[in-house]
Amino acid sequence: MERIGKFATLMAIAALAGSAALAGNWPERPVEIVVPTSPGGDTDTNCRIFLKYLEKELGQPMVVVNMSGSAGTIGLNNVKNSAPNGYRALFYHSGALIANIMEMMDYSITEGFEVAGMPVIDKSNCFASNIKAPYNNIKELVDYVKAHPGDVSFGTESGSFTHLHILALAAASGAEFNIVDAGTAAEKTTALLGGRIDVIGTQYGLMKGFIDKKEFKCLGILSDQRLAGAEDVSTFADSGYNLVFDKFFYMIFPKGTPRAIIDTFNAASKKVAENPAYIADCKKNFVNASYMTPEAAVKYIDEQFALYKKYEKALTGN
């Protein structure tokens, strides 16, 4: 029995040594990055911009795999159940925390995965409407909804980040919105353009082209300051509602991924965040290049989760 125990110990040490050696050479082939949204939205766009620079640092292609559905949980589950070898990771955002609160997933981001970094933060979360809408800012929107309770439809995706936003405004203002599940970012935009939805929660960068063409208008930014490049757009606080929600994007790997891989990714991510070209590309889309160590990212995500939990009753009805 003693001999068998020693053999098992030696085998375990050999396995760990082999894993460390493999991690030390990572990546030796293309890495698949799951994006749990459809192509064309802000998550997909932010991911592709980041990966364009990341693959130059890592020396291997970063292949985007779009896997939308169920508020991101299809993609999350896929990566969670993948081999922890560094060749499948996930790029996603704050919405997963809401899915966790709504019990659409039974694990948290910080406990169910290895958090590798946070390359993008979006402070341009906003409400947008058709240019012909009879309100031009959040105060006017709330006043109109109070005068016409239930008449204004707000397009979101159930369990998404924008779902949290409209619930927070409804709670703060007492206004009675008609909240409608209108699908993904692209689907919401199409519904607004076609007049099937009155207001949507979205990101300013996705709306900029429509705003320039005088098709949409931005009613307010969910930030603590006006948006650089769009200073004429008021914040929610300007209308009397101090609601601030930053949309943060992170990279995560399956639990058990070797620390050497996480460290290699983190070092490359830091170089990307400091690259002037990447910073400029982010600014074009009204988002901020970001860098956080895995430890700092975990702390930040947990703090945001605590903030979102304040709206648990509104999100779940319990």
CA 116 to chain centroid, in Å, comes to 15
The two beta strands, 31-35 and 88-93, are parallel
- Give pLDDT tens digits for 254-290: 999 999 999 999 999 999 999 999 999 999 999 999 9
Pull the structure tokens for residue 121. 């933060």
Q: What is the pLDDT of residues 152-196, one digit of tens each?
A: 999 998 778 899 999 999 999 999 999 999 988 888 999 999 999
Separation between Cα atoms, residue 130 and residue 128, nearest integer Å:
7
- Tokens 């990714």 label which residue? 265
Query: Is the pLDDT reported for residue 19 higher than 50?
Result: no
- Report the Cα–Cα distance between both ends of the chain, in Å, rounded: 55
Give the rounded percent of residues in the chain with a pLDDT score beyond 70.
93
pTM value is: 0.84
Q: How confident is the model at residue 24 (pLDDT cuts 50, 70, 90)?
A: confident
CA–CA dist 167, 291 (Å, integer):
30
Share of the chain above pLDDT 90, in %: 80
List, for residues 303-315, the tens digit of each pLDDT value: 999 999 998 988 8
Enumerate the β-bridge partners of residue 227. 230
CA atoms of 293 and 162, how far apart (whole Å): 27
d(CA 131, CA 233): 14
pLDDT of residue 160: 83
What is the phi/psi pair of residue 29, to 5°? -155, 175
DSSP string, 163-185: HHHHHHHHHHH----EEEE--SH
Q: Is residue 248's pLDDT more than 90?
A: yes
pLDDT for 3: 52
Which tens digits make up the pLDDT trace of 136-152?
999 999 999 999 999 99
Q: Give the integer Cα–Cα distance in Å for 39 and 43.
A: 8
Domains of the chain plus CATH, in order, are 2-122+247-316 (3.40.190.150), 125-239 (3.40.190.10)
CA distances from 312 to 76, 107, 159, 210, 287 (A): 21, 16, 11, 33, 27
Q: Is the pLDDT of residue 12 over 60?
A: no
Residue indicated by tokens 């008609």 = 178
Beta bridge partners of 248: 121
Given pLDDT bands bounded at 50, 70 and 90, which one contains residue 21? very low
Q: Please give the DSSP secondary-structure letter assigned to residue 213.
A: T
